[in-house]
């Protein structure tokens, strides 16, 4: 299929009141073919306000997509000071409070995330310590250094959908000398999701009280 830009029908047999319809049959057929080609060029169904058209090489068509899934945007979250959702032993998914979301992330089972002091307590997070991303390219990193009580731990960026580790040392939490404090450090991580993907930030330490701001840039 292709856009019918080079196959316009002529008007010679339809621009005069005395023209005979039978002489325009080829032009009428050409217009029908052109309209069908245009219809086949698009895959649009029940569009929502603000949707955009994006070409898909997989389907060979222009398809509707949510504006939030196209281009960039920045989400701001807090890696909160609550306990987390236990995976096994001392491995926990840390809760993430969404402070700003351009629309490219969701939280399964969300029942009140969105403020630093509005998180579940204890260990009962019921699947809320994860984020689901739309397809795209992202950079993730923490922006500030948070000094906390003395302990060491590694924070892993984990792909829950494909059960694979994206970064085994996404955030390092290291002891500062013998002062009884620790410090969080992060190296920006680039990840590419080809489809809807659920992720978590996992911590392998027993002390889960550190909090910091997590920045997520969608660049494509």
Q: DSSP letter string over 161-194?
A: TTTEEEEEEEEEEEEETTTTEEEEEE--EEEEES
Q: What is the pLDDT of residues 2-36, one digit of tens each?
A: 788 888 899 999 899 898 989 999 999 999 999 99
- pLDDT at residue 164 in the model: 93
What distance in Å separates the CA atoms of residue 163 and residue 206, rounded to the nearest whole number?
A: 23
Q: 61 with 98, same domain?
A: no
Q: 75 with 60, same domain?
A: no
Q: 106 with 191, same domain?
A: yes
Handedness of CA 198, 129, 202, 70 (dihedral sign): positive
- pLDDT at residue 163 in the model: 94
Domain of residue 41, residue span = 21-65
% residues pLDDT > 70 (the chain) = 73
Q: 140 with 174, same domain?
A: yes
Query: Is residue 6 included in any domain, yes or no?
Result: no
Q: 70: exposed, middle or buried (C-beta count within 10 Å: 0-12, 13-18, 19+)?
A: middle
- Using DSSP's 3-state secondary structure scheme, residue 54 falls into strand
Number of structural domains, the chain? 2
pTM for this entry: 0.62
What distance in Å separates the CA atoms of residue 177 and residue 175, rounded to the nearest whole number?
A: 6
Query: Is residue 14 included in any domain, yes or no?
Result: no
Select, from the ranges 30-39, 44-53, 176-185, 197-206, the one with the highest average predicted confidence (pLDDT): 30-39
Q: 106 with 177, same domain?
A: yes
- Long-range contacts at 6-10 (CB < 8 A, ≥ 24 apart): 7/33, 7/34, 8/34, 9/34
Query: Is residue 3 included in any domain, yes or no?
Result: no
φ, ψ for residue 67 (rounded to 5)?
-60, -30
Answer whether residue 197 shows pLDDT above 60.
yes
Task: Decide if 207 contacts 150 (C-beta within 8 A).
Answer: no
Average pLDDT over residues 31-58: 88
204: confidence class by pLDDT, cuts 50, 70, 90: confident
Q: What is the pLDDT of residues 167-187, one digit of tens each?
A: 887 776 666 666 666 677 777
What distance in Å separates the CA atoms of residue 80 and residue 112, rounded to the nearest whole number?
A: 14
| β-strands 189-193, 136-142 pairing | antiparallel
Answer whether residue 112 shows pLDDT above 60.
no
202: confidence class by pLDDT, cuts 50, 70, 90: confident
- pLDDT at residue 117 in the model: 47
């Amino acid at each position: 299929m292709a856009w019918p830009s080079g196959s316009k029908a002529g008007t010679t047999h339809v621009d005069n009141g005395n023209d005979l319809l039978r002489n325009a049959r080829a032009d009428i057929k050409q217009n029908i073919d052109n309209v069908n080609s245009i219809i086949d060029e698009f895959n649009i169904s029940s569009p929502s306000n603000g949707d955009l058209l994006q070409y898909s090489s997989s389907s060979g068509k222009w398809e509707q997509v949510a504006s939030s899934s196209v281009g960039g945007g920045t989400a701001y979250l807090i890696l909160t000071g609550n306990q987390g959702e236990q995976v096994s032993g001392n491995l926990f998914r840390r809760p993430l409070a969404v402070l700003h979301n351009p629309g490219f992330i969701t939280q399964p089972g969300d029942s009140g995330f969105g403020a630093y002091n509005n998180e579940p307590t204890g260990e009962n997070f019921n699947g809320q310590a994860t984020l689901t991303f739309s397809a795209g390219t992202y950079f993730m990193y923490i922006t500030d250094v948070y000094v906390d009580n003395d302990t060491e731990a590694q924070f892993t960026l984990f792909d829950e959908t494909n059960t694979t580790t994206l970064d085994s040392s996404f955030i390092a939490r290291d002891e500062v000398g013998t002062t009884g404090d620790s410090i969080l450090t992060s190296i920006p991580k680039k990840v590419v999701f080809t489809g809807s993907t659920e992720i978590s930030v996992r911590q392998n330490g027993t002390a889960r009280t550190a909090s910091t701001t997590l920045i997520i840039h969608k660049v494509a």
